[in-house]
Amino acid sequence: MDIELSTEDLEFRAEVRAFLEENAYEAGTDYNQWRSGWFEKAAEKGGWDVPKWPEAFGGPGWSPTQHYIWEQETAVATLPWDLPFGIGMLAPILMAYGNEEQQKRFLPDIRARKVNWCQGYSEPGAGSDLASLKTKAVLSADGSHYTVNGTKIWTTVAHIADWIFCLTRTDDSGRKQEGITFLLFPMKQEGVEVKPIITLGGAHSVNTVFLTDVEVPVENRIGEEGKGWTYAKGLLQHERTGLAGISRSIVALETLKSQAATVKRGNGTLMDDPGFRAKVAELEVDLMAVEFTELRSLASASSGAAPGPESSILKLKGTEIQQRIQKLTVEAGGIYSAAWGARPVGHGFAKNGMAGYLASRAYTIYGGASEVQKDVIAKNVLGVKRSGR
Ligand SMILES: Cc1cc2nc3c(=O)[nH]c(=O)nc-3n(C[C@H](O)[C@H](O)[C@H](O)COP(=O)(O)OP(=O)(O)OC[C@H]3O[C@@H](n4cnc5c(N)ncnc54)[C@H](O)[C@@H]3O)c2cc1C
Protein backbone atom coordinates (compact mmCIF):
# COMPACT_ATOMS: atom_id res chain seq x y z
CA MET A 1 0.00 0.00 0.00
CA ASP A 2 1.24 3.51 -0.74
CA ILE A 3 0.30 6.24 1.66
CA GLU A 4 1.10 9.85 0.93
CA LEU A 5 4.13 10.76 3.05
CA SER A 6 4.85 14.40 3.91
CA THR A 7 8.38 15.84 3.67
CA GLU A 8 8.69 15.46 7.47
CA ASP A 9 7.57 11.82 7.26
CA LEU A 10 10.10 11.11 4.51
CA GLU A 11 12.82 12.70 6.64
CA PHE A 12 11.70 10.60 9.60
CA ARG A 13 11.84 7.45 7.46
CA ALA A 14 15.38 8.29 6.37
CA GLU A 15 16.35 8.85 10.01
CA VAL A 16 14.87 5.49 11.05
CA ARG A 17 16.62 3.69 8.19
CA ALA A 18 19.94 5.33 9.05
CA PHE A 19 19.54 4.37 12.74
CA LEU A 20 18.73 0.75 11.89
CA GLU A 21 21.64 0.52 9.45
CA GLU A 22 24.17 2.17 11.78
CA ASN A 23 23.16 -0.09 14.65
CA ALA A 24 22.68 -3.35 12.75
CA TYR A 25 24.10 -6.50 14.33
CA GLU A 26 27.44 -7.59 12.92
CA ALA A 27 27.89 -11.35 12.72
CA GLY A 28 30.55 -12.66 15.11
CA THR A 29 30.25 -9.81 17.63
CA ASP A 30 28.91 -10.21 21.19
CA TYR A 31 25.12 -10.42 20.85
CA ASN A 32 24.21 -9.39 24.39
CA GLN A 33 26.48 -6.38 24.26
CA TRP A 34 24.95 -5.32 20.95
CA ARG A 35 21.46 -5.84 22.36
CA SER A 36 21.90 -3.62 25.39
CA GLY A 37 23.77 -1.02 23.30
CA TRP A 38 20.94 -0.99 20.75
CA PHE A 39 18.31 -0.23 23.38
CA GLU A 40 20.50 2.47 24.95
CA LYS A 41 21.00 4.18 21.61
CA ALA A 42 17.30 3.87 20.81
CA ALA A 43 16.54 5.54 24.16
CA GLU A 44 18.95 8.38 23.33
CA LYS A 45 16.93 9.03 20.16
CA GLY A 46 14.06 10.06 22.44
CA GLY A 47 12.00 7.00 23.34
CA TRP A 48 12.71 4.82 20.31
CA ASP A 49 13.30 1.95 22.74
CA VAL A 50 9.64 2.21 23.83
CA PRO A 51 7.84 3.40 20.68
CA LYS A 52 4.36 2.60 21.97
CA TRP A 53 4.72 4.22 25.39
CA PRO A 54 3.04 7.61 25.87
CA GLU A 55 5.26 10.69 25.98
CA ALA A 56 4.50 11.21 29.68
CA PHE A 57 6.34 7.94 30.37
CA GLY A 58 9.25 8.53 27.99
CA GLY A 59 7.74 7.38 24.69
CA PRO A 60 8.51 9.28 21.46
CA GLY A 61 5.03 10.76 20.92
CA TRP A 62 4.94 9.73 17.26
CA SER A 63 2.07 10.35 14.90
CA PRO A 64 0.20 7.32 13.48
CA THR A 65 2.17 7.68 10.26
CA GLN A 66 5.46 7.64 12.16
CA HIS A 67 4.38 4.48 13.98
CA TYR A 68 3.46 2.95 10.65
CA ILE A 69 6.86 3.87 9.19
CA TRP A 70 8.63 2.39 12.24
CA GLU A 71 6.67 -0.87 11.89
CA GLN A 72 7.51 -1.09 8.20
CA GLU A 73 11.19 -0.30 8.59
CA THR A 74 11.77 -2.54 11.61
CA ALA A 75 10.00 -5.45 9.90
CA VAL A 76 12.89 -5.71 7.44
CA ALA A 77 15.70 -5.00 9.92
CA THR A 78 17.16 -7.38 12.49
CA LEU A 79 16.01 -6.10 15.86
CA PRO A 80 17.36 -7.20 19.23
CA TRP A 81 15.59 -10.06 20.93
CA ASP A 82 12.76 -8.62 23.05
CA LEU A 83 9.82 -10.00 25.02
CA PRO A 84 6.39 -8.36 24.87
CA PHE A 85 5.24 -9.16 28.40
CA GLY A 86 6.84 -6.27 30.30
CA ILE A 87 7.14 -3.58 27.63
CA GLY A 88 3.90 -4.19 25.73
CA MET A 89 1.54 -5.80 28.20
CA LEU A 90 2.27 -4.95 31.82
CA ALA A 91 3.66 -1.43 31.29
CA PRO A 92 0.36 0.01 29.94
CA ILE A 93 -1.45 -1.43 32.97
CA LEU A 94 1.08 0.04 35.39
CA MET A 95 0.74 3.40 33.67
CA ALA A 96 -3.06 3.31 33.84
CA TYR A 97 -3.75 1.61 37.16
CA GLY A 98 -0.49 1.31 39.13
CA ASN A 99 0.30 3.86 41.84
CA GLU A 100 3.26 6.23 41.51
CA GLU A 101 5.45 4.07 43.71
CA GLN A 102 4.77 0.99 41.56
CA GLN A 103 5.43 2.95 38.39
CA LYS A 104 8.77 4.16 39.76
CA ARG A 105 9.66 0.71 41.02
CA PHE A 106 8.86 -1.35 37.93
CA LEU A 107 8.83 0.79 34.77
CA PRO A 108 12.57 1.70 34.62
CA ASP A 109 13.65 -1.98 34.78
CA ILE A 110 11.03 -2.96 32.21
CA ARG A 111 12.29 -0.22 29.93
CA ALA A 112 15.93 -1.22 30.40
CA ARG A 113 14.99 -4.87 29.62
CA LYS A 114 16.61 -5.82 32.92
CA VAL A 115 13.69 -7.87 34.23
CA ASN A 116 11.81 -10.54 32.26
CA TRP A 117 8.11 -10.81 32.96
CA CYS A 118 5.59 -13.57 32.24
CA GLN A 119 1.81 -13.51 32.14
CA GLY A 120 -0.06 -15.72 34.61
CA TYR A 121 -3.64 -15.67 33.42
CA SER A 122 -4.67 -19.06 31.98
CA GLU A 123 -5.37 -22.04 34.19
CA PRO A 124 -6.22 -25.68 33.45
CA GLY A 125 -9.92 -24.78 33.82
CA ALA A 126 -9.80 -21.18 32.60
CA GLY A 127 -8.69 -20.17 29.10
CA SER A 128 -11.25 -18.52 26.85
CA ASP A 129 -13.49 -18.34 29.89
CA LEU A 130 -10.73 -16.63 31.84
CA ALA A 131 -13.02 -15.22 34.52
CA SER A 132 -13.51 -18.77 35.83
CA LEU A 133 -9.98 -18.72 37.23
CA LYS A 134 -9.55 -20.30 40.64
CA THR A 135 -6.00 -19.49 41.81
CA LYS A 136 -6.77 -18.26 45.30
CA ALA A 137 -5.19 -15.29 47.07
CA VAL A 138 -6.02 -14.88 50.76
CA LEU A 139 -5.20 -11.66 52.58
CA SER A 140 -3.42 -12.10 55.93
CA ALA A 141 -5.21 -11.00 59.11
CA ASP A 142 -2.86 -8.00 59.47
CA GLY A 143 -3.48 -7.02 55.83
CA SER A 144 0.24 -7.13 54.98
CA HIS A 145 0.35 -9.91 52.36
CA TYR A 146 -1.59 -12.41 50.26
CA THR A 147 -1.01 -16.17 50.27
CA VAL A 148 -1.45 -17.54 46.75
CA ASN A 149 -2.34 -21.14 45.83
CA GLY A 150 -3.23 -22.53 42.40
CA THR A 151 -1.97 -23.56 38.97
CA LYS A 152 -1.25 -21.44 35.91
CA ILE A 153 -0.77 -23.06 32.51
CA TRP A 154 0.66 -22.19 29.08
CA THR A 155 2.79 -19.55 30.81
CA THR A 156 5.19 -18.43 28.08
CA VAL A 157 8.84 -18.00 29.20
CA ALA A 158 7.98 -18.73 32.85
CA HIS A 159 11.23 -20.73 32.97
CA ILE A 160 13.34 -17.63 32.24
CA ALA A 161 11.09 -14.98 33.80
CA ASP A 162 12.09 -13.01 36.89
CA TRP A 163 8.56 -11.81 37.70
CA ILE A 164 4.97 -12.76 36.91
CA PHE A 165 1.83 -10.62 36.65
CA CYS A 166 -0.90 -12.83 37.85
CA LEU A 167 -4.68 -12.94 38.08
CA THR A 168 -5.92 -14.39 41.35
CA ARG A 169 -9.29 -14.87 43.03
CA THR A 170 -9.84 -13.03 46.29
CA ASP A 171 -13.61 -13.45 46.41
CA ASP A 172 -15.93 -16.04 44.87
CA SER A 173 -19.22 -14.89 46.33
CA GLY A 174 -20.42 -12.71 43.42
CA ARG A 175 -20.20 -12.60 39.61
CA LYS A 176 -17.11 -14.43 38.42
CA GLN A 177 -15.70 -11.23 36.86
CA GLU A 178 -15.73 -9.68 40.32
CA GLY A 179 -13.36 -10.79 43.04
CA ILE A 180 -10.33 -11.06 40.72
CA THR A 181 -7.15 -9.38 41.94
CA PHE A 182 -4.06 -8.43 39.94
CA LEU A 183 -0.79 -9.33 41.72
CA LEU A 184 2.89 -9.05 40.82
CA PHE A 185 5.50 -11.35 42.37
CA PRO A 186 8.98 -12.76 41.72
CA MET A 187 9.28 -16.21 40.15
CA LYS A 188 12.38 -17.24 42.04
CA GLN A 189 10.88 -17.76 45.47
CA GLU A 190 9.58 -20.46 47.76
CA GLY A 191 6.37 -22.06 46.49
CA VAL A 192 6.78 -21.28 42.75
CA GLU A 193 7.46 -24.41 40.66
CA VAL A 194 7.81 -24.29 36.86
CA LYS A 195 7.37 -27.40 34.68
CA PRO A 196 8.06 -27.30 30.94
CA ILE A 197 5.47 -28.14 28.24
CA ILE A 198 7.03 -29.17 24.92
CA THR A 199 4.77 -28.11 22.07
CA LEU A 200 3.99 -29.69 18.66
CA GLY A 201 6.94 -28.01 16.89
CA GLY A 202 9.41 -29.40 19.45
CA ALA A 203 10.02 -26.08 21.26
CA HIS A 204 10.02 -25.25 24.96
CA SER A 205 8.40 -21.87 25.40
CA VAL A 206 5.34 -22.65 27.53
CA ASN A 207 5.09 -24.04 31.05
CA THR A 208 2.85 -25.03 33.90
CA VAL A 209 3.40 -22.94 37.02
CA PHE A 210 2.42 -24.43 40.36
CA LEU A 211 1.87 -21.93 43.18
CA THR A 212 1.93 -23.25 46.74
CA ASP A 213 1.56 -20.83 49.65
CA VAL A 214 3.33 -18.06 47.74
CA GLU A 215 3.54 -14.91 49.85
CA VAL A 216 2.90 -11.65 48.01
CA PRO A 217 3.21 -8.30 49.85
CA VAL A 218 0.09 -6.19 49.55
CA GLU A 219 2.07 -3.36 47.94
CA ASN A 220 2.48 -5.67 44.91
CA ARG A 221 -1.26 -5.48 44.19
CA ILE A 222 -2.22 -3.34 41.20
CA GLY A 223 -5.21 -1.11 41.91
CA GLU A 224 -8.02 -2.25 44.11
CA GLU A 225 -8.70 -5.73 45.38
CA GLY A 226 -11.38 -7.42 43.27
CA LYS A 227 -10.97 -5.08 40.29
CA GLY A 228 -8.34 -7.12 38.42
CA TRP A 229 -10.73 -8.10 35.65
CA THR A 230 -11.13 -4.49 34.53
CA TYR A 231 -7.36 -4.02 34.39
CA ALA A 232 -6.77 -7.34 32.61
CA LYS A 233 -9.37 -6.61 29.93
CA GLY A 234 -7.53 -3.43 28.95
CA LEU A 235 -4.29 -5.36 28.82
CA LEU A 236 -5.73 -8.03 26.52
CA GLN A 237 -6.53 -5.40 23.92
CA HIS A 238 -2.91 -4.19 23.98
CA GLU A 239 -1.80 -7.80 23.60
CA ARG A 240 -4.09 -8.41 20.64
CA THR A 241 -2.97 -5.31 18.77
CA GLY A 242 0.62 -6.47 19.17
CA LEU A 243 -0.02 -9.98 17.87
CA ALA A 244 -1.27 -9.11 14.38
CA GLY A 245 2.27 -8.72 12.95
CA ILE A 246 1.10 -7.05 9.72
CA SER A 247 4.41 -5.46 8.66
CA ARG A 248 6.28 -8.69 9.34
CA SER A 249 3.72 -10.56 7.23
CA ILE A 250 4.25 -8.15 4.34
CA VAL A 251 7.99 -8.89 4.45
CA ALA A 252 7.36 -12.64 4.92
CA LEU A 253 5.07 -12.77 1.90
CA GLU A 254 7.65 -11.03 -0.31
CA THR A 255 10.28 -13.50 0.95
CA LEU A 256 7.95 -16.40 0.17
CA LYS A 257 7.44 -15.12 -3.38
CA SER A 258 11.16 -14.92 -4.03
CA GLN A 259 11.67 -18.38 -2.51
CA ALA A 260 8.89 -19.91 -4.61
CA ALA A 261 10.53 -18.37 -7.68
CA THR A 262 13.57 -20.62 -7.04
CA VAL A 263 11.51 -23.84 -7.01
CA LYS A 264 11.35 -25.54 -10.43
CA ARG A 265 7.89 -26.51 -11.64
CA GLY A 266 7.48 -27.85 -15.22
CA ASN A 267 9.28 -25.47 -17.56
CA GLY A 268 9.13 -22.60 -15.11
CA THR A 269 8.98 -22.08 -11.36
CA LEU A 270 6.37 -22.46 -8.67
CA MET A 271 5.55 -18.77 -9.05
CA ASP A 272 4.33 -19.54 -12.61
CA ASP A 273 1.91 -22.15 -11.28
CA PRO A 274 -1.63 -20.66 -11.56
CA GLY A 275 -2.89 -22.44 -8.42
CA PHE A 276 0.02 -21.21 -6.27
CA ARG A 277 -0.18 -17.71 -7.74
CA ALA A 278 -3.88 -17.54 -6.94
CA LYS A 279 -3.21 -18.37 -3.27
CA VAL A 280 -0.46 -15.74 -3.11
CA ALA A 281 -2.73 -13.13 -4.73
CA GLU A 282 -5.56 -13.89 -2.30
CA LEU A 283 -3.15 -13.48 0.61
CA GLU A 284 -1.90 -10.15 -0.75
CA VAL A 285 -5.43 -8.77 -1.01
CA ASP A 286 -6.35 -9.88 2.52
CA LEU A 287 -3.09 -8.51 3.89
CA MET A 288 -3.74 -5.11 2.33
CA ALA A 289 -7.21 -5.00 3.91
CA VAL A 290 -5.76 -5.75 7.35
CA GLU A 291 -3.07 -3.14 6.84
CA PHE A 292 -5.77 -0.47 6.45
CA THR A 293 -7.43 -1.67 9.65
CA GLU A 294 -4.10 -1.40 11.44
CA LEU A 295 -3.73 2.20 10.25
CA ARG A 296 -7.14 3.00 11.73
CA SER A 297 -6.07 1.39 15.00
CA LEU A 298 -2.83 3.40 15.04
CA ALA A 299 -4.80 6.60 14.48
CA SER A 300 -6.95 6.03 17.54
CA ALA A 301 -3.96 4.93 19.63
CA SER A 302 -2.08 8.13 18.82
CA SER A 303 -4.99 10.22 20.06
CA GLY A 304 -4.50 8.55 23.44
CA ALA A 305 -7.37 6.07 23.22
CA ALA A 306 -6.87 2.48 24.40
CA PRO A 307 -7.14 -0.08 21.60
CA GLY A 308 -10.80 -0.80 20.92
CA PRO A 309 -12.61 -3.79 19.41
CA GLU A 310 -10.69 -3.29 16.15
CA SER A 311 -7.81 -4.99 17.97
CA SER A 312 -9.89 -8.20 17.71
CA ILE A 313 -10.18 -7.80 13.92
CA LEU A 314 -6.41 -7.33 13.71
CA LYS A 315 -5.69 -10.33 15.94
CA LEU A 316 -8.11 -12.58 14.05
CA LYS A 317 -7.10 -11.69 10.50
CA GLY A 318 -3.41 -10.97 11.23
CA THR A 319 -2.79 -14.37 12.81
CA GLU A 320 -4.76 -16.22 10.11
CA ILE A 321 -2.56 -14.53 7.51
CA GLN A 322 0.62 -15.51 9.38
CA GLN A 323 -0.59 -19.12 9.36
CA ARG A 324 -1.44 -19.01 5.65
CA ILE A 325 2.08 -17.73 4.88
CA GLN A 326 3.58 -20.57 6.95
CA LYS A 327 1.39 -23.06 5.12
CA LEU A 328 2.40 -21.78 1.68
CA THR A 329 6.06 -21.81 2.75
CA VAL A 330 5.72 -25.51 3.56
CA GLU A 331 3.93 -26.03 0.24
CA ALA A 332 6.80 -24.32 -1.59
CA GLY A 333 9.47 -26.27 0.31
CA GLY A 334 7.62 -29.57 -0.10
CA ILE A 335 9.28 -32.59 1.52
CA TYR A 336 12.37 -30.53 2.41
CA SER A 337 10.29 -28.56 4.92
CA ALA A 338 10.56 -31.55 7.23
CA ALA A 339 14.32 -30.91 7.61
CA TRP A 340 15.01 -29.89 11.20
CA GLY A 341 18.12 -28.44 12.79
CA ALA A 342 21.15 -26.61 11.51
CA ARG A 343 21.70 -28.17 8.07
CA PRO A 344 19.24 -27.59 5.24
CA VAL A 345 18.28 -30.37 2.85
CA GLY A 346 17.15 -29.52 -0.70
CA HIS A 347 15.78 -25.97 -0.93
CA GLY A 348 17.72 -24.05 1.74
CA PHE A 349 14.76 -21.88 2.67
CA ALA A 350 12.65 -24.92 3.56
CA LYS A 351 14.70 -25.83 6.65
CA ASN A 352 12.54 -25.86 9.82
CA GLY A 353 9.52 -24.97 7.66
CA MET A 354 7.33 -27.68 9.18
CA ALA A 355 8.40 -26.77 12.73
CA GLY A 356 7.42 -23.16 11.99
CA TYR A 357 4.11 -24.29 10.52
CA LEU A 358 3.30 -26.42 13.58
CA ALA A 359 4.28 -23.61 15.97
CA SER A 360 2.03 -21.23 14.03
CA ARG A 361 -1.04 -23.34 14.99
CA ALA A 362 -0.88 -21.55 18.36
CA TYR A 363 -1.21 -18.06 16.84
CA THR A 364 -4.99 -18.39 16.58
CA ILE A 365 -5.25 -19.71 20.14
CA TYR A 366 -3.14 -17.48 22.40
CA GLY A 367 -4.08 -13.88 23.10
CA GLY A 368 -7.71 -15.02 22.75
CA ALA A 369 -8.80 -17.82 20.37
CA SER A 370 -10.23 -16.90 16.96
CA GLU A 371 -13.74 -18.03 17.87
CA VAL A 372 -13.66 -15.66 20.84
CA GLN A 373 -12.42 -12.77 18.68
CA LYS A 374 -15.35 -13.43 16.32
CA ASP A 375 -17.69 -13.16 19.29
CA VAL A 376 -16.14 -9.82 20.31
CA ILE A 377 -16.40 -8.50 16.75
CA ALA A 378 -20.02 -9.65 16.44
CA LYS A 379 -21.01 -7.94 19.68
CA ASN A 380 -18.86 -4.81 19.72
CA VAL A 381 -18.32 -4.01 16.04
CA LEU A 382 -21.37 -5.45 14.30
CA GLY A 383 -23.73 -4.91 17.24
CA VAL A 384 -25.16 -8.42 17.07
CA LYS A 385 -27.34 -9.21 20.06
CA ARG A 386 -27.70 -12.86 20.94
CA SER A 387 -30.79 -14.13 22.66
CA GLY A 388 -30.18 -16.08 25.84
CA ARG A 389 -26.99 -14.14 26.70
C1 LIG B 1 1.70 -21.20 22.64
C2 LIG B 1 0.79 -20.63 23.67
C3 LIG B 1 1.26 -19.65 24.54
C4 LIG B 1 0.44 -19.14 25.55
N5 LIG B 1 0.96 -18.23 26.43
C6 LIG B 1 0.21 -17.83 27.49
C7 LIG B 1 0.76 -16.99 28.51
O8 LIG B 1 1.93 -16.59 28.44
N9 LIG B 1 -0.03 -16.65 29.57
C10 LIG B 1 -1.31 -17.09 29.69
O11 LIG B 1 -1.96 -16.73 30.67
N12 LIG B 1 -1.88 -17.88 28.74
C13 LIG B 1 -1.14 -18.27 27.65
N14 LIG B 1 -1.70 -19.10 26.70
C15 LIG B 1 -3.04 -19.60 26.91
C16 LIG B 1 -4.06 -19.05 25.93
O17 LIG B 1 -4.40 -17.73 26.22
C18 LIG B 1 -5.26 -20.01 25.95
O19 LIG B 1 -4.82 -21.24 25.40
C20 LIG B 1 -6.43 -19.50 25.18
O21 LIG B 1 -7.02 -18.40 25.85
C22 LIG B 1 -7.50 -20.58 24.94
O23 LIG B 1 -7.86 -21.18 26.15
P24 LIG B 1 -7.84 -22.78 26.34
O25 LIG B 1 -6.52 -23.29 25.84
O26 LIG B 1 -8.22 -23.07 27.73
O27 LIG B 1 -8.91 -23.32 25.34
P28 LIG B 1 -10.51 -23.31 25.56
O29 LIG B 1 -10.93 -21.99 26.10
O30 LIG B 1 -10.88 -24.52 26.34
O31 LIG B 1 -11.02 -23.42 24.08
C32 LIG B 1 -11.08 -24.66 23.37
C33 LIG B 1 -11.79 -24.41 22.03
O34 LIG B 1 -13.13 -23.95 22.27
C35 LIG B 1 -13.35 -22.70 21.60
N36 LIG B 1 -14.22 -21.83 22.40
C37 LIG B 1 -14.04 -21.51 23.71
N38 LIG B 1 -15.03 -20.65 24.11
C39 LIG B 1 -15.80 -20.40 23.03
C40 LIG B 1 -16.96 -19.58 22.81
N41 LIG B 1 -17.48 -18.84 23.78
N42 LIG B 1 -17.50 -19.59 21.57
C43 LIG B 1 -16.95 -20.34 20.58
N44 LIG B 1 -15.88 -21.14 20.73
C45 LIG B 1 -15.29 -21.17 21.94
C46 LIG B 1 -11.98 -22.08 21.46
O47 LIG B 1 -11.92 -21.16 20.41
C48 LIG B 1 -11.11 -23.29 21.19
O49 LIG B 1 -11.16 -23.65 19.85
C50 LIG B 1 -0.89 -19.59 25.66
C51 LIG B 1 -1.38 -20.58 24.79
C52 LIG B 1 -0.56 -21.09 23.81
C53 LIG B 1 -1.11 -22.15 22.89
Residues 6+ apart with CB under 8 A from 20: 73, 74, 77
Split at pLDDT 50, 70, 90, the class of 283 is: very high
Does pLDDT of 7 surpass 80? yes
Q: Residue 369 in contact with residue 363, Cβ under 8 Å?
A: no
| Cα(364) to centroid(ligand 1), Å | 9
Mean pLDDT of 29-53: 96
- What is the pLDDT, as a whole number, of residue 387? 61
155 lines ligand 1 (CB under 6 A): yes
161 lines ligand 1 (CB under 6 A): no
Instruction: Give the percent of the chain with pLDDT over 90.
Output: 77
Residue of minimum CA distance from atom 27 in ligand 1 = 127
CA distance 62 to 77: 20
DSSP 8-state secondary structure symbol assigned to residue 123: B
Mean pLDDT of 332-341: 88
Whole-prediction pTM: 0.92
CA distance 168 to 134: 7
| Cα(123) to centroid(ligand 1), Å | 10
Split at pLDDT 50, 70, 90, the class of 1 is: very low
CA distance 348 to 338: 12
- Range of lowest pLDDT (59-68, 179-188, 201-210): 59-68
| Ligand 1 atom nearest 359 alpha carbon | 1
Split at pLDDT 50, 70, 90, the class of 51 is: very high
Beta strand extents in the chain (DSSP E only) = 117-120, 136-139, 145-153, 163-169, 180-186, 192-198, 204-217, 221-222, 264-265, 268-269
The phi and psi torsions of 339 (rounded to 5 degrees) equal -60, 135
Does pLDDT of 296 surpass 80? no
| Cα(235) to centroid(ligand 1), Å | 16
- Range of lowest pLDDT (69-78, 278-287, 306-315, 373-382): 306-315
Mean pLDDT, all residues of the chain: 92
Residues 6+ apart with CB under 8 A from 227: 180, 181, 182
Does pLDDT of 388 surpass 60? no
Split at pLDDT 50, 70, 90, the class of 389 is: very low
| Cα(128) to centroid(ligand 1), Å | 5
- Which is more confidently placed, 34 or 352? 34
Does pLDDT of 83 surpass 90? yes
Split at pLDDT 50, 70, 90, the class of 381 is: confident
- What is the pLDDT, as a whole number, of residue 349? 86
- What is the pLDDT, as a whole number, of residue 311? 82
Split at pLDDT 50, 70, 90, the class of 201 is: confident
Split at pLDDT 50, 70, 90, the class of 2 is: very low
Residue of minimum CA distance from atom 17 in ligand 1 = 366
154 lines ligand 1 (CB under 6 A): yes
132 lines ligand 1 (CB under 6 A): no
Listed residue (154, 19, 46, 49) closest to 111, CA to CA: 49
Which 3 state secondary structure label does DSSP give 142? coil
